[in-house]
Structure 1
Amino acid sequence: MNFILFKRLFIGMSFCLLCSCQLLRGPDTVSSVEFSPIREFPLFDSQEIIGVAAQIETDEQDSLLVIGRHFGLGYDEITRANSNVDPWLPEPGSTVRLPLRFIIPEAPRKGVVLNLAAKRLFLYDQKNTNKVFTYPVGIGREGWETPQGLTRITAKTANPSWTVPESIRREHAKKGDPLPRVVPAGPNNPLGDYALRLGFPGYLIHGTNKPYGVGMEVSHGCVRLYPEDIAKLFRHVAVGSQVRIVNQPFLTAWDGDTLFLQAYPPTHKDPKQVNRLVQDLIARLQKIEQESGRLIDWDKVHVAIERSDGVLTPILKGHIDDFYLTISRPSIKFKRPIPKAIDVDAWKLNVATLPNVKQARQFAAMLNHQGPPIPAHAFATKVIAGPFSSSQDAFSAKKRLLSEFSITAQIMEPGKIVETPQALQESTIFTNLLTFFD
Structure 2
Amino acid sequence: MVALAGALTLTVAGATVAHAAGPEPVPRAATAAAAHWTGTWEAAASGTAAALPGTSIRNVVHTSVGGTEVRVRISNRLGTRPLALGGATLARQVPNASTSPNALPGTMRTLTFGGRKKVTVPAGKDVVTDPVTLHVPAAANLLVTLYTPVESGPATYHRSALQTNFLARKGNRTADVTGASYTATTSSWYYVTGVDVRGPHAAGSVVALGDSLTDGSASTPSANRRWPDRLAERLRALPPNGRRGVLNAGVAGNRLLLQGRGPSALARFDADVLSRTGVRTLIVMEGINDIKNAPNQTDPAALGTAYREIVRRAHARGIRVVGVTLTPFGGHGAYTEERERVRRAVNQLIRYGGLFDAVADFDAVVRDPSRPHRMLAAYDPGDHLHFNDAGMRAMADSIDLAGLLGIPKDLAG
Instruction: Name the structure with the higher helix share.
Output: 1
TM-score range, shorter chain: under 0.3
* Larger RCO (CA under 8 A, 6+ residues apart): 2
TM-score w.r.t. structure 1 length? 0.23
- In our comparison, the structure showing a higher alpha carbon Rg is 1
